[in-house]
Structure 1
Amino acid sequence: MAKSENTPETPQGTAVSTEGVPEVESVPEADSTPQTGTESFTADAALVDELTAKLDTATGELEALRASVTELEARAVTAETALERERAARKHGLPDELVGFLRGTTAEELDAEAATLAKYSARSTTGLGTGGLDPTDGGLSNVGALVQRTIQRTRTR
């Protein structure tokens, strides 16, 4: 059996063709003479000063916009919390006087607070008041009869 060597073959006389490859233009050399004089320096300094002033102005405007965004975000959070507080209060039938007692930042927390306050709310929608007169008795046309019935009701109790 013959052993084969593991050596790479070197190409013998292969030529690279440059057909179809665009020709690169030569880059002109930069002016090697240094600029002397203060005109160039003064113009550059003026440009730097102008750009620095623009950058300072833009930075100031950016900071003002960031402050405005922060303020508006805080106002939006406050408004959303107030809206959630109102929704929870209306859902549980709380009077307006008790809405301010709702604590919490999420809808779930406010809903739980409203449910608790609604249990202790003194709002009563059934029955007559404590005055003893029934508003459905027909008005004040027969006041004497109303007074007599009221007296009789209080004596029988």
Structure 2
Amino acid sequence: MSKLIKGTLVLMAAALITKVLGFVHRIILADMAGAEGVGLYMMTFPALMLAITVTQLGLPIAISKYVSEAAANRNEQEIRKILSVSLWITGTLAVLLTPLLFFAAPFISTTLLNDERTLIPFIAVLPIIPIAAFSAVVRGYFMGRQLIQREDWAFLKSFKKN
């Protein structure tokens, strides 16, 4: 079986597991929080996604590109540098943004979200920001490592030289 088919099957299995876990998570959340709790969570969710987007800054794609280029050149020191700089950037943004959002949470919940009841759900989801930032860097790293293992990489490398 070719590496492409194996990789595709692994990605399909991972996507299926992720969807099933998300489904189970939503069932448990709806059961525990009720309709009102889920509504409050869904009101805070866009603010959380905006914070995660600001923290990641599109780095996973850039990390993937640079890691795959460095891996193609067998430059492990460059890969470590890319990883450390990326972790530093996203970590700094997460460390600055999470407390800022924590202290701004009363303003955000009452003024922007127009509902005082969103304060607790908003504060409860804030710890996700550093976790998402770290996972974005790791995802970009592993995507870059996977790209170098593709069978067509040699063709792309020779094409780049010409």
Task: Give the TM-score range, shorter chain.
Answer: under 0.3
Greater fraction of residues in helix: 2
Query: Greater RCO between the two (CA within 8 Å, min separation 6)?
Result: 2
Q: Which structure has the larger Rg?
A: 1
TM-score, length-scaled by structure 2 = 0.23
